[in-house]
Structure 1
Amino acid sequence: MMSVESIAVALVGYLLGSIPFGVIVAKRSGVDIYSVGSGNPGATNVLREIGKPAGYLVFSLDFIKGILATTWFMVPIFSVSGDATLGLWGLPGAVLGHTYPLFAKFRGGKGVATAMGGLLGVMPGCLLIGLVSWGVIFYTTRYVAVASIGFGLSLPVCAFVAYWSSDESTGQGAKLFLATVVMAWIIWRHRSNLVRLREGTENRFERKRKH
């Protein structure tokens, strides 16, 4: 049963995740991000349509809101709890908020950057493995969607290894469940990309040619 503290962490996580940084940054550049490119307000579409500085800024801000969602309650001024496992409620809250943001008419991004930030707060080891997986897959395929799905798939594998090699008192069972949920959510949010990959129409970052 959820405690009052876990409900509070999940709710604050959702509200933090709902801050539509992609929409805000694009609007400051005079662009309606929903009407250009893929129409997605995430960092990748911002990068493609506005430029690298804007794209990297959106990624960083989305990453940071994930971190905050899983750690804010441990700051003494809030006097909520010093129990780090409460962050397990903040992560899904933040990802849900990012993908269905209250402050942007529930039209959000894929949630990968926010999930990465949240994982830094609750499962840093699995985040590292996921980032390596993302990097290797993107380098070999040049598809952000494929790399993001690979990132998602790596999470429950990492969490299972941690669960298998430790006792339940460390909360690894809950982390394994959370990692599986995040994986499923990432794949679900990329279902349109999977269709485009099958049809050969998915956007791809081409390698720069050396002169």
Structure 2
Amino acid sequence: MSGLEFLLVTLVGYIVGSIPFAVMIGIFHGVDILQQGSGNPGATNVKRVIGKGAGYFCFVGDSMKGLLAAGWPQLHVFEMVSDPLRLAFVGLVAAVLGHSYSVFIRFKGGKGVATIIGGLFAIMTNVLLISVVVWLIVFYITRYVSFASICLCLSLPLLALICREPIEVIVLCLFFAIFITLRHRSNIRRLISGTEDRMQKET
């Protein structure tokens, strides 16, 4: 991996990750998503404030940011063939940081879970799919999106180890587990105090 490759992939990943889909969807619907609900510019808040369709659209958009950032370095564009997997890691980390600290909204941003999911789909689909099952089980039992998201990310390094992924992948998953847990600090406090909002079952 050359310095130029690193810088290019980092820049593209960060800019792509910084695209604030939640804010743009809010503007389209005449809502300032940063001032409504939890104030978090992510799919869950969009769903609560605007509606189910808008929330799903936001999730897809945020996921695609990770998929693009981690996927394009593996296409060997611009002769980047030296280390495509590590370049994919760099692109994904940059996209997650861009999503969480977007230059377009004064370095505010969402938690990063959807972007991680999209990026891991391009890097290690098997581990991702198992972790999504973890999310579904935890969410079905608790109805807490935040707790399910934390469990998903905490499961990643263990699943990567079980699936015998390369050490670089395990380290990446460990980074995301720590990062997402820290990004959910306020949610964890509300979970402990019993004030965290549950997602209501649809009838």
Residues 69 and 87, structure 1, Cα contact 8 Å, conserved in 2? yes
Q: Kindly, what percent of the aligned residue pairs are identical?
A: 48
Matching of residues 63-102 of structure 1 within 5 Å: 63-75=63-75, 78-82=77-81, 83-85=83-85, 86-102=87-103
Matching of residues 1-211 of structure 1 within 5 Å: 3-75=3-75, 78-82=77-81, 83-85=83-85, 86-163=87-164, 172-208=166-202
SS of residue in 2 equivalent to 1:98: helix
Tell me which amino acid in the other structure corresponds to 1:123: M
What is the distance in 2 between the residues matched to 1:63 and 1:208?
Answer: 23
What is the distance in 1 between the residues matched to 2:78 and 2:69?
Answer: 15
**1:2 shift after superposition:** 6.4
Per-residue CA distance 1:98-126 (angstroms, 9 max, x = gap): 00011111110000000000101112111
Residues 70 and 91, structure 1, Cα contact 8 Å, conserved in 2? yes
Aligned length: 201
Give the TM-score, by structure 1 length.
0.90
What is the distance in 2 between the residues matched to 1:156 and 1:186?
Answer: 13
What is the distance in 1 between the residues matched to 2:2 and 2:101?
Answer: 22
Q: Pairwise CA RMSD of aligned residues? A: 1.6
**Segments of 4+ in structure 1 off by > 6 A?**
none
Give the TM-score, by structure 2 length.
0.94
Does the C-alpha gap of structure 1 residues 204 and 80 become closer, same or farther in structure 2, counting only changes over 3 Å?
A: farther
